[in-house]
Structure 1
Amino acid sequence: MKTKLVLIPGTQCDSRLWDKLRSLLSSDIDATHFEIPKLPINEVLLQLHKAIQSVAVEGQPVFLLGFSLGGYIASSYLASLNEGDLTLDSAINIQFFICSNTPTALPSRELRQRRRIIQNIDAKPYSGASSSRVKYMLNEIHHDDENMIQLIQSMDQKLGVESLKHQLSFTGERRDLKGVFWDVASQFSIQFLASDTDPLLNYEWLETLPSSIKVKLCKGCKHMLPLERPDFIADAVNAAVLTG
């Protein structure tokens, strides 16, 4: 029986985000893309809950991997379980991978930039993610990778302006979930996977986590980990399958 892996994308990312990662995953893993619905966060978590229940098989772990915005959604799902808003069947064993995200307030620079994007969208037609915005999220070694840049821009264009407005606004002012991770550290296997130079992360926040929560940092990437270093993510997920 294959281990089920539910993949939650980042802002303006579709299933193409995972193409490189999928090719590196163990044949014992069955990966499913979760498309973020244009709904309030509580409804998004309910839809995610249903998706997890639909793939869960008794005795088999379900892996939940959230990238960027998806990492915050996965963390918020943990909070909803911890606070009793959602309830899991005792037979369902979930392991969490939080990728390129620290579930706390965004850096002030990023919040200001997101507010400007929303204001610009309302003022004039949206022309898509600029090259400078894309490169801000990529390590310099990938700044000349036109295929990677065009993929990010293509995903943004495909999802469209209404998706962008929704995703930027409904988790803009984020709750600090540090207390949740302290509460659930003994109940769930949790790993944070990230670059060591991601401008959207709070590295001091990561240092405050319980020692049982693994934090793995890699080089040669910035924010777009599934595109820049899919091997790093695949190694962590494949290892979790082997250790059961």
Structure 2
Amino acid sequence: MNGGKLTGSDNDTERLPLLLVPGTLCDERVFTPVLALLPERSVSIAPLTDVSDVHEAARRILADAPPRFALLGFSLGGIVSLEIAATEPGRVAGLALIGSNARPVAPEFHAERRREAISGSENLDHYIRKIMWPRYVSEGRRQDAALQHLIAAMARDGGRQLLLNQTEIGLSRIDSRDRIARMTMPSLVLGGCEDALCTPEMQREMAHRLPDAQLALLPDAGHFVTLEQPEAVAAHISSWLERVDRVSA
């Protein structure tokens, strides 16, 4: 985990640290436009590298995490965040899930997912630009060359083995739909109305089952909602963090 402070101020002592977990083939750049709009606080990134199991990923992140923190995960990072919150709920003061999913992958689909990952890892640029791109963003952003370049650059920098490892993280997860009913911390469930990977139905399902969740579904946004609509995302995260800080004070 990158424990370095990304933002900070003299008021950090009054605010819980924020721990961010990026998604598949993503790094801190998936959060950069949102972080630029948030009030300053101590922020750390926990990249999902050098690990291929969701339980081990959660264990490693918890080993380096602050004693108590607000936790935000995007996509696969949200799946790992659910595992973190289930493992040590007392340390997670608040939980935000962005474009994520509490459902497992049925065993009969594991081989197909692995074949897709192997094929994609052999040519990451082709995988992102030709196969995944239509599923990543809203229809209105399909011609956004700069956004496509950024997402492809993160994938290229992550590399072949990262895609294979992170595919295994996703396949190793269990069904979290029942256990999230025990996650009582202030929560935010946020997604894009045009998300084809983690659909609005999945977001509603999680928000309904979490005891203290606010749901935000953003129109004209797809899976990469943090990059498509950073202003709206930052506004919802700010409100959530205010709730977390207030409850934890």
What's the TM-score, normalizing by structure 2? Answer: 0.80
Tell me the CA shift for residue 112 of structure 1: 7.6
For residue 78 of structure 1, the aligned residue among 76, 85, 90 is 85
- In structure 2, the gaps of 5 or more residues are 1-10
The residue that corresponds to 2:95 in the other structure is 96
What is the DSSP-based 3-state SS (H/G/I as helix, E as strand, rest coil) of the residue aligned with 1:158?
A: helix
The residue that corresponds to 1:45 in the other structure is 58
Tell me the CA shift for residue 158 of structure 1: 0.4
Query: Are 2:114 and 1:115 aligned?
Result: yes
Once the two structures are overlaid, the 10-residue window that deviates more, 173-182 or 153-162, is 173-182
Asked if 1 retains the 8 angstrom alpha-carbon contact of 2:207 and 2:214, the reply is: no
- Cα distance in 2 for partners of 1:145, 1:79 equals 38
- Cα distance in 2 for partners of 1:166, 1:149 equals 23
Tell me the CA shift for residue 173 of structure 1: 5.3
- In structure 1, the gaps of 5 or more residues are 57-61, 83-87
- Cα distance in 1 for partners of 2:79, 2:92 equals 20
Tell me the CA shift for residue 172 of structure 1: 2.1
Per residue, is there more helix in 1 or in 2? 2
- Cα distance in 1 for partners of 2:83, 2:92 equals 17
Asked if 2 retains the 8 angstrom alpha-carbon contact of 1:78 and 1:180, the reply is: no
- Cα distance in 1 for partners of 2:242, 2:214 equals 17
For residue 42 of structure 2, the aligned residue among 20, 25, 30 is 30
- Report the count of equivalent residues: 224
- Cα distance in 2 for partners of 1:63, 1:216 equals 18
| Gap change, CA 1:18 and 1:119, over 3 Å in 2 | closer
Tell me the CA shift for residue 145 of structure 1: 0.9
For residue 17 of structure 1, the aligned residue among 11, 15, 30 is 30
- Cα distance in 1 for partners of 2:54, 2:238 equals 30
Tell me the CA shift for residue 201 of structure 1: 2.4
Asked if 2 retains the 8 angstrom alpha-carbon contact of 1:138 and 1:221, the reply is: yes
Query: Are 2:21 and 1:8 aligned?
Result: yes
The residue that corresponds to 1:190 in the other structure is 187
Moved over 6 A (4+): 110-113
Q: CA RMSD in A?
A: 2.5
**Structure 2 counterparts to residues 1-244 of structure 1, below 5 A:** 1-2=11-12, 3=15, 4-27=17-40, 29-39=41-51, 40-53=53-66, 56=68, 62-81=69-88, 88=90, 92=91, 94-106=93-105, 114-120=113-119, 125-128=122-125, 129-132=127-130, 133-172=132-171, 174-185=173-184, 188-201=185-198, 203=201, 205-206=205-206, 208-210=208-210, 212-243=212-243, 244=246
Once the two structures are overlaid, the 10-residue window that deviates more, 132-141 or 8-17, is 132-141
What's the TM-score, normalizing by structure 1? Answer: 0.81
